[in-house]
Every structure is written in C-alpha cells, then in structure tokens.
C-alpha cells in the first residue's frame, strides 16, 4: 500500500463531468490498494470570475479580502469532488487550507508555506477516506485565509506529499508529460520517461511551463517523487527524479534531456566602458531599480582598459533598458550603446553535460552548419543557452533536436 497525492488543475475539474472523472480516477487508485490524497484547483474560469468581481469594485483590492474571495474557488471544487465520491460509494472528506491546517506566512496573494498539520488527514486516510484538499490556499497565524499565488496548487500538492511522506505526487494536467521540446516547433519531440529536478527547473524557467517552478524546487528540497501525467488518458507521464547514481552512470544514453526556448528576448550592450572592479554592479544597479528583469549576462575580457557588457531582457523592457544605458554612458563619460530586440534564446539542458566534454562544440557546430549565427553564449552546469536571430528559432530547435538524437526513444538508443 502506497500513499499517493494526486493534483488536478482547473481544466481537469472544469465541469461537473470532469469532476466525476477525477472522482473515478481517485477511486480507482484507492481500489488498487493505495491511500489517496487529492489536491484540486478552482474550476477553470472561476478564479478569473472572482478576480473580475473584485476588480469591478477596486483596482487595488484589499489583499487580505481578495484572498477571502478567490479562495472560494477551490472550496467549491473540494465539496463537489467529495459529493461525487460519496455518490460512487467511496468515503471522502474535504479540507480547506485552514482546516488542514496549511500554515503560511501572513502575506496575501503569494504566501509561502511554513508547516502542515498532518494528524487529521492521516486519521481520515486510516479510516478509509479519500482526502480532498483545496490547493492554492493556507492560513496565517491569526486565522486569516492566505493564497499561494497562481499555480500554487502544485506547491500545495508537493508540500502535502512532503508532510505526509507520500510515495508519489502526481501532477495531472492537460499534457501527458515533459517533452524533449515543444511539439508545436518540432513534431518529432518525444515524451521523456524521466527527468531530473535540476533539468526540470532549467526547462521550466526557460519556457516549458508544465509545472510551477516553486513546486519543483520544493519537491527537490523535500525529496518528493514527482510525476507529471495527463488527466485525460492513462499514460505514465514523466517521472521527475533526483539526480541519482543511476543517472550518472547512464551518461551515454541521455547527454541532453531537452531543448528549451524563449521568444520575445532582446539584448542590449554597453561597449567601451572603463573596466574597473564594480562596473557590473554600476551597470545592473540602475537596471534593477527600473524593475527590469535581466536574464543572460555576458562580459568579455577587457581591452585597452575598457570592456563590453551585454545582457538580455524581456522584449517589453527593451526601450527602458536602452534608456538606462544611454544615461550611464553620459554618467560614465564614455562608451557606446547597442541593442537588438529581434533575438530569441535557445537552450540545451541535461545533467549529462556536467561530466562530458564536447557538448558545447557539438551544439555550435550543428548551428553553424545551418548558417545560424550566435550572438551571445551563456552556460551553467547543466545548460547551454545561445541568443540568435529570431528568424532562425524553429530551425535551431529542430537542428539541435536531431543533432542530440532526441527523437530516438531512450530504449532505442
């Protein structure tokens, strides 16, 4: 007998019929001999409806009270799911975040979980109940309702799995797993059977938005076995594992797990600035003050006492970034500003590259053979990102997908 936490998002509980479908899945898992905790989101559209009512009254609604309003979305779902389970003859009991209690900071709209009381849930599971918990919400020390922010239901599920020491936490969604890249760009993209937490984090932050990143961090930190699967079929999905020994000795098979990309990037460069200690902070300080988020940062070795400094930002922040740099040129008494708002970022991700030379070379060669010019390179332990002209994005993704043989199944290769 295993203890399994299942999480279903808004689309999976979007109608009465889909809630009944979720009830059948949970009941089936229980019938297979497991203890089941189900975490649910609000029915799709409901959170936006509630936010809409609040925004009709105020453009900046009282944050505590906004959480009171929006947390009702998940509360409706837990009740309806338990009604569906009871109707099927399955014992079920619902919990709001307060009832669990999922204790959080006293912050509204984006609270962090501090602790979870697990006694009541354990007792209900022992008594044969399927326990249904409202995702996305918790309770502050003073009893106020808090929410974890959008996508927080994933975090709720992982945190509950950690608190209950669950054997597995399955995040059901409308895709059937994590892919080697976006199938809309590369039709040969393939579902991964396994991926490590680190790879998942890099893929998520780079645009493969399958799971909320905070929940992946949480799962890694608390050693929760996480799986992403479709709520509409019975496939195994993708297992998200620790970077374990097995993975490391299995290098030949999976050097690269996936290819991520970010559209809507822009790069800005300030050239010929005095190469002094603290120059990076001097440049990035005023950028941060303007609430501009910086992604890749590249600084070349200086020449003649000056250096070139480049970074990428979201395309919406391009003009603001250019203005900041022009201001700096005046202030520093020299330099030149260049920018390009027609670039994209393409990244290869894989724990395999950590101990394997030649991955970067293979990547640059493959792109070069297709005539794709690289304007920026940035690397981490398990990721290499390049900035390229946006018109080559699809070609670059498909070229790299083929070069690293991602279309071949793990067992084939």
Report the interface residues with a copy of itself, using CB under 8 A.
Answer: 16, 19-20, 50, 53-54, 56-58, 61-62, 64-69, 71-72, 75-76, 78-80, 82-84, 86-87, 92-94, 96, 98-99, 120, 143-145
Rank residues 17 and 233 by Cβ distance to a copy of itself and give the closer one: 17
Q: How far is the CB of 307 from a copy of itself (least distance, A)?
A: 50
Q: Please give the structure tokens belonging to residue 362.
A: 């293979």
As measured in angstroms, the least distance from the Cβ of 84 to a copy of itself is 5
CA–CA gap between residue 276 and residue 127 (Å, rounded): 68
Neighbours of 278 (CB within 10 A): 8
DSSP string, 24-63: HHHHHHHHTT-EEEEEE-PPTTHHHHHHHHHHHH-SS--H
Cα-Cα-Cα-Cα dihedral of 186, 187, 193, 195, to 10°?
Answer: 10
| Cβ 218 vs Cβ 264: under 8 Å | no
Query: By C-beta, is 63 or 280 nearer to a copy of itself?
Result: 63
Cα 65 to the chain's mean position, in Å?
28
Would you say 17 or 412 has its CB closer to a copy of itself? 17
Convert 335-376 into a string of H (helix), E (strand) and C (coil). Answer: CEEEEEEEEEEEEEECHHHHHCCCHHHHHHHHHHHCCCCEEE
- In the sheet where 306-314 sits, what is the strand order? 294-299, 306-314, 258-274, 336-349, 383-389, 374-380
Compare residues 65 and 243 and give the one whose CB is closer to a copy of itself: 65
Nearer to a copy of itself, 135 or 177 (CB): 135
Q: Which helix (H) or strand (E) holds 235?
A: none
Other residues' Cβ atoms within 10 Å of the Cβ of residue 104: 27
Residues 387 and 375 sit within 8 Å (Cβ to Cβ): yes
Nearer to a copy of itself, 57 or 280 (CB): 57
Q: How far is the CB of 70 from a copy of itself (least distance, A)?
A: 8
Closer to a copy of itself by Cβ: residue 98 or 180: 98
To a copy of itself, the closest distance from the beta carbon of 87 in angstroms equals 4
Closest to a copy of itself by CB, 140 vs 366, is: 140
Closest distance to a copy of itself from the beta carbon of 31 (Å): 19
């Amino acid at each position: 007998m295993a203890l399994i936490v299942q999480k279903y998002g808004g689309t999976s509980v979007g109608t009465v019929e889909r809630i009944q479908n979720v009830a059948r899945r949970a009941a089936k898992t229980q019938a297979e001999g497991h203890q089941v905790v189900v975490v649910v989101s609000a029915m799709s559209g409901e959170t936006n409806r509630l936010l809409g009512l609040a925004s009709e009254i105020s453009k900046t609604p009282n944050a505590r009270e906004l959480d009171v309003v929006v947390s009702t979305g998940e509360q409706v779902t837990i009740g309806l799911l338990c009604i569906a389970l009871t109707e099927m003859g399955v014992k079920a009991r619902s919990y709001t975040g307060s009832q669990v209690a999922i204790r959080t900071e006293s912050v509204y709209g984006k609270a962090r979980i501090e602790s979870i009381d697990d006694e009541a849930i354990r007792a209900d599971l022992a008594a044969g109940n399927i326990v249904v918990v409202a995702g996305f919400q918790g309770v502050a020390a003073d009893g106020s309702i808090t929410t974890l922010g959008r996508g927080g239901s994933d975090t709720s599920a992982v945190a509950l799995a950690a608190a209950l020491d669950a054997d597995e936490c399955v995040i059901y969604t409308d895709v059937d797993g994590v892919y080697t890249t976006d199938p809309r760009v590369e039709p040969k993209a393939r579902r991964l059977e396994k991926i490590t937490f680190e790879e998942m984090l890099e893929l998520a932050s780079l645009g493969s938005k399958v799971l909320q990143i905070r929940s992946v961090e949480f799962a890694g930190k608390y050693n929760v076995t996480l799986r992403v699967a479709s709520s509409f079929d019975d496939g195994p999905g993708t297992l998200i594992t620790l970077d374990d020994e097995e993975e490391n000795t299995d290098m030949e098979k999976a050097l690269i797990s996936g290819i991520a990309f970010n559209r809507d990037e822009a790069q800005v460069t300030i050239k010929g600035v005095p190469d002094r200690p603290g120059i990076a902070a001097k440049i990035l300080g005023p950028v941060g003050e303007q609430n501009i988020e910086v992604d890749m940062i590249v600084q070349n070795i200086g020449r003649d006492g000056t250096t070139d400094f480049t970074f990428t930002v979201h395309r919406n922040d391009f003009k603001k970034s250019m203005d900041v740099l022009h201001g700096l040129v005046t202030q520093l008494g020299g330099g030149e500003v260049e920018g390009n708002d027609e670039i994209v970022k393409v990244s290869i991700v894989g724990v395999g590259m950590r101990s394997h030379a030649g991955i970067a070379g293979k990547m640059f060669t493959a792109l070069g053979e297709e005539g794709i010019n690289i304007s920026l390179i940035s690397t981490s332990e398990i990721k290499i990102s390049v900035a390229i002209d946006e018109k080559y994005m699809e070609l670059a993704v498909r070229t790299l997908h083929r070069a690293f043989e991602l279309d071949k199944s793990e067992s084939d290769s």
